[in-house]
Chains A and B, each alone.
Chain A
Amino acid sequence: MATITGTVRCVRIGDEFAFTTVREQGTNTQETLKLWWDGVSTSANPAAHTRIVQSDWVSLLRQAMANNILVTISYDNNNAVVAFVQLGQL
């Protein structure tokens, strides 16, 4: 599992998919990550709790972007599918 900590540059939500772009703290390199992509990289019919978690992720990313707060996102090293979104530092 890889992580990236940085500022949110973009949250893009389509009918069945959502991406976010994060600018990494220190390197200034941007990485585009998949929050979900129904029927492609995530389930075509996710469970209700999955939708709630996805909605929470969007809330955190929106909050981070609006207030320039650092986020830490964990994702699979090989496929950039988001597993966790963390607002601020532990």
Chain B
Amino acid sequence: MDDHDKTEVTARIARQVEGSPLLADFHIPFPKLADVGQLNSDAAFTRLSEVLGAVQEPLTVHFRITDEGIGQSWFIDSGPEGCRVTKDAPRQSDVEVILDAETWNLIASGTISPLEAFGRGQLRIRGDINLAHRFVQQVHRASAPHS
């Protein structure tokens, strides 16, 4: 798929999810956590936990990322006390996100949205979709410029 096709798909998804607040929120790219092609997942997840900070209701999201057949896990564990990233499960995850390292690089660099990755067949979500929605809302709220 060339750049023109990618732009077409991005625009198509935006059109298709218009009017669906839940899906539209998933189509907002993450804040830039790393540069494209310069991904250090540990640093990107640490940055994500810093962006999130403390949230009112506890939520644990498990990112399972495969790179050349080898799987690694990162857990974003957020709550009123703050947000931390761990490599071991702090408790049972509310949501599991399964993707490969290349896709995580594109999401972490803000190049594509989680919904676009899902639509392109590069990401799976296991768990309560409403909790996944709450997570992306928290990310967007925390990364939005304060007025």
Residues of A at under 8 Å CB distance from B? Answer: 14-17, 21, 29-32, 34, 37, 39-41, 76, 78-81
Given contacts A16-B16, A40-B9, A40-B12, contact A76 B121 (CB under 8 A): yes
B124 within 8 A of A: yes
Could you tell me if B121 and A81 are in contact, using CB atoms closer than 8 angstroms? yes
CA distance A55 to B53 in the complex (A): 44
Could you tell me if A31 and B120 are in contact, using CB atoms closer than 8 angstroms? no
Can you name the residue of chain A whose Cβ is closest to the Cβ of B96? A29
CA distance A79 to B120 in the complex (A): 8
Residues of B at under 8 Å CB distance from A? Answer: 8-9, 12-13, 16-17, 20, 23, 96, 100, 118-122, 124-129
**What are some 15 contacts across the A-B interface (CB < 8 A)?**
A14-B17, A14-B23, A16-B12, A29-B96, A29-B126, A29-B127, A30-B126, A30-B127, A37-B119, A39-B9, A40-B12, A40-B119, A78-B100, A79-B120, A79-B124
Q: Which chain A residues border B121 with CB–CB below 8 Å?
A: 34, 41, 76, 78-81
Given contacts A31-B124, A78-B121, contact A21 B129 (CB under 8 A): yes
Q: Which chain B residues border A40 with CB–CB below 8 Å?
A: 9, 12-13, 119-120
Q: How far is the CB of A45 from chain B (nearest CB, A)?
A: 13
Could you tell me if A14 and B20 are in contact, using CB atoms closer than 8 angstroms? yes
CA distance A39 to B20 in the complex (A): 19
Q: Which chain B residues border A78 with CB–CB below 8 Å?
A: 100, 121-122, 124
Could you tell me if B9 and A79 are in contact, using CB atoms closer than 8 angstroms? no
Can you name the residue of chain A whose Cβ is closest to the Cβ of B22? A12
Q: How far is the CB of B129 from chain A (nearest CB, A)?
A: 5
CA distance A22 to B14 in the complex (A): 25
Can you name 11 extra interface pairs (CB under 8 A) apart from A31-B126, A79-B120?
A14-B16, A14-B23, A32-B129, A34-B121, A37-B119, A40-B9, A40-B120, A41-B119, A41-B120, A41-B121, A80-B121
